[in-house]
Structures are given as structure tokens and as C-alpha cells.
């Protein structure tokens, strides 16, 4: 059995770990509030954008001439997957959930004999994927320096994707991110952004005709690249809220575990101290008796 001194050291060490996890939980909680707020504030923009695009794509009479970003290249050979993860660890299953979802998808694509290309956003995803899919990763983007998710970063990612699409480096683009549901639940999502999913959720909402100026095609050409950045921005916002939520609950658990451990160790410490005292007493008593 460990000596009294060892036990004491362990208790102190667990206690200081608990302090750290507790502090991290508080920080995450404060950040979560902000991230959640900005995720909520960002929603109207992406929703409106989506609406306008839906209306536009319904207004397009000739699907054949529609911009490629909307209708796709017509092929289904090369898949580009954008895996969005965090830059920091210690957030429970946050990153692994996305990676798991992405890996299942990768498996399917490769089984069908299609080509796979990966862009990772956030360094944690890159770390987890590079062993198995290292040769498939064509780009790794990280925003370690930006404090919050901002639109400027999203535009950068969007720009890279569009540039690659125009060079016909891929046919279908899917983004992976965690959707924030609440603090303890984050749902990993796979969302296809090229070609755009234009099936509207409620069909009966289809709008009356619009006037377009200039014509639909030109507006769409202008709008679709923006929409990609918007979707990525939305994913980034959801991701950052989810990350903080996941970290908060992970740290909460860690704090609780540390507490339990401290309790257990204290009991063990007290027992062995008592055992030592009893032992000494017995020695004294039996020494006295033998006289």
C-alpha cells in the first residue's frame, strides 16, 4: 500500500487538477454564452440568404443553363470534404464525433470507387485524420489566431473552395460540423453545399414571381459564392458554440470525477493513518505486557 506521504501528495495533485478543470469549465461557460449569442444572431442572415436562393432557383426556367455551383458539374466522381473541427483539445467528444461521422462518409465514398479530397479546418481534425487519410488531405486551414469565428475567415475558406471548384478539382462538396443543440448535445452534421440542396422543406411556401434585376442567372452567379461563405460561416458559428458546450460538460465531468477521487483518497489516507496509529498502540501495549 502507498505510504501516507504518497497519498497526501496524490490528494494535493488531484485537488489542483480539479481547480484547473473547474476554472476551465467557468471559462467555457462564459465563452459559450457569447458563442451561443453570436450563433443566434447569425441565423437570420443565412436563413434569408437561403430563402432568396430558393426563390431564385425556383424562378429559373431552364435548369440546364443554371450556374454550376447550383446544379453541380453533372458528375459524381471527386468528392471534396471540408471537415471543421476545433483548434484546441479538452472538449470531450466534440472533435471525435465529427471525425467519426466524416470517416464513415469517407469509407462509403472510397468503397464506391470515387476519389476523395479533404480540407481540414482546425488543427485537431488534421491531427486525427492525417494518419489514416494523410495523402487525401489537400489543405489544412487553421484560425488559431482569431479569437471568435468571424466572417472574414469564412470568406477565406469559401474562396478556397470556389477556386478549386472553378479549376474542376472536385464535383461534390460536403462540409462536416457539429450542430449546437444544447450544452450537452451536439449533433455532427454532413451538409452538401455544392451542388446546392434546393429542395425546400415546405413545398407549399413556394413564392409568387419576383422581378429580377439583372436577370436570374447573373444574380445567382453573384450570390452563390456568397452563399458558400455564409454556409461555412454558419457552420463555424455552430461549431464554436458546440465546442464551448462540449468543453463545458467535459470539464464539469472532470471536476466531478476529481471530487470523487479526492473523497476516495481521503478515506484511504485516514484509514492508513488510523492503521499506523493502531499498529503503534499494539506495539506499545504488547511491549508493556511482556514486562
Partner 1 sequence: MSEEFKVEIVNPEASFLSKEDVTEVIVPAFEGEMGILKDHISIISFLKPGILTIHTKSGEHKFYVEDGIFEFKDNNLSVLTSSIFDLKKIEKSRLMNLIKVAEEEASKQEIDDQSRFLIDQKIEVLKSLN
3-state secondary structure of 175: strand
Q: Within 10 Å of residue 81's Cβ, how many Cβ atoms?
A: 24
Using the minimum distance from each CB to partner 1, give the nearer residue, 235 or 250. 235
Among 25, 42, 69, 78, binds partner 1 (CB under 8 A): 42
CA nearest 126: which of 136, 112, 116? 136
Element (H, E) at 78: strand 78-84
- Note if 91 is an active site residue: yes
In this structure, are strands 137-141 and 172-180 parallel, antiparallel, or unpaired? unpaired
Strands of the sheet containing 78-84, edge to edge, are 137-141, 115-121, 78-84, 172-180, 186-194
Residue 279 lies near partner 1 (rule: CB under 8 A): no
> At its nearest, how many Å lie between partner 1 and the CB of residue 41?
4
Query: What x-and-dash track marks residues 208-227 binding partner 1 by CB under 8 A?
Result: xxxxxxx----x--xx--x-
C-alpha cell at 165: 471548384
C-alpha cell at 2: 502507498
Using the minimum distance from each CB to partner 1, give the nearer residue, 41 or 181. 41
The residue whose grid cell reads 511491549 is 287
Among 207, 263, 280, 283, binds partner 1 (CB under 8 A): 207
Among 23, 45, 100, 264, binds partner 1 (CB under 8 A): 45
Q: Rounded CA gap, 137 and 82, in Å?
A: 10
Among 97, 123, 230, 249, binds partner 1 (CB under 8 A): 230
Residues in region 153-172 near partner 1 by CB under 8 A: 154-155
84, 91, 172, 220: the catalytic one is 91
CA nearest 174: which of 231, 133, 220, 135? 231
Q: Rounded CA gap, 106 and 102, in Å?
A: 6
Contact region for partner 1 (CB under 8 A) — 2-10, 61-69, 203-211, 282-290?
203-211
Alpha-carbon separation of residue 286 from 198, 254, 272, 291 (angstroms) = 89, 47, 21, 9
Judged by CB under 8 A, how many residues of this single chain contact partner 1?
30
> At its nearest, how many Å lie between partner 1 and the CB of residue 30?
19
> At its nearest, how many Å lie between partner 1 and the CB of residue 224?
11
Contact region for partner 1 (CB under 8 A) — 26-34, 37-45, 88-96, 132-140?
37-45
Among 58, 71, 96, 150, binds partner 1 (CB under 8 A): 150
Binding site for partner 1 (CB under 8 A): 38, 41-42, 44-46, 48-49, 51-52, 55-56, 150-151, 154-155, 207-214, 219, 222-223, 226, 230, 233
Amino acid at each position: 500500500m502507498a505510504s501516507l506521504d504518497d497519498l497526501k501528495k496524490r490528494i494535493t495533485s488531484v485537488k489542483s487538477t480539479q481547480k484547473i478543470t473547474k476554472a476551465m469549465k467557468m471559462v467555457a461557460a462564459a465563452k459559450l454564452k457569447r458563442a451561443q449569442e453570436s450563433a443566434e444572431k447569425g441565423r437570420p442572415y443565412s436563413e434569408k440568404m437561403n430563402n432568396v436562393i430558393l426563390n431564385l432557383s425556383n424562378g429559373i426556367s431552364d435548369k440546364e443553363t443554371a450556374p454550376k455551383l447550383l446544379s453541380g458539374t453533372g458528375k459524381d466522381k471527386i468528392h471534396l470534404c471540408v471537415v471543421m473541427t476545433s483548434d484546441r483539445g479538452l472538449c470531450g467528444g466534440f472533435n471525435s464525433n465529427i471525425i467519426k461521422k466524416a470517416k464513415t462518409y469517407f469509407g462509403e465514398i472510397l468503397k464506391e470507387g470515387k476519389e476523395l479530397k479533404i480540407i481540414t479546418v482546425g488543427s485537431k481534425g488534421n491531427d486525427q485524420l492525417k494518419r489514416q487519410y494523410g495523402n487525401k488531405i489537400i489543405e489544412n486551414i487553421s484560425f488559431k489566431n482569431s479569437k471568435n469565428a468571424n466572417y472574414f475567415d469564412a470568406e477565406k475558406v469559401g474562396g478556397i473552395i470556389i477556386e478549386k471548384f472553378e479549376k474542376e478539382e472536385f464535383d461534390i462538396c460536403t462540409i462536416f460540423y457539429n450542430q449546437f443543440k444544447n450544452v450537452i448535445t451536439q449533433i455532427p452534421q454532413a451538409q452538401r453545399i455544392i451542388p446546392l440542396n434546393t429542395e425546400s422543406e415546405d413545398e407549399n411556401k413556394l413564392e409568387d414571381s419576383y422581378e429580377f434585376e439583372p436577370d436570374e442567372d447573373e444574380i445567382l452567379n453573384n450570390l452563390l459564392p456568397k452563399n458558400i461563405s455564409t454556409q461555412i460561416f454558419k457552420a463555424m458559428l455552430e461549431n464554436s458554440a458546440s465546442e464551448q458546450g462540449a468543453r463545458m460538460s467535459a470539464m464539469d465531468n472532470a471536476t466531478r470525477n476529481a471530487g470523487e477521487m479526492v473523497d476516495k483518497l481521503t478515506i484511504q489516507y485516514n484509514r492508513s493513518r488510523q492503521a499506523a496509529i493502531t499498529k503503534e498502540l499494539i506495539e506499545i501495549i504488547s511491549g508493556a505486557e511482556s514486562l
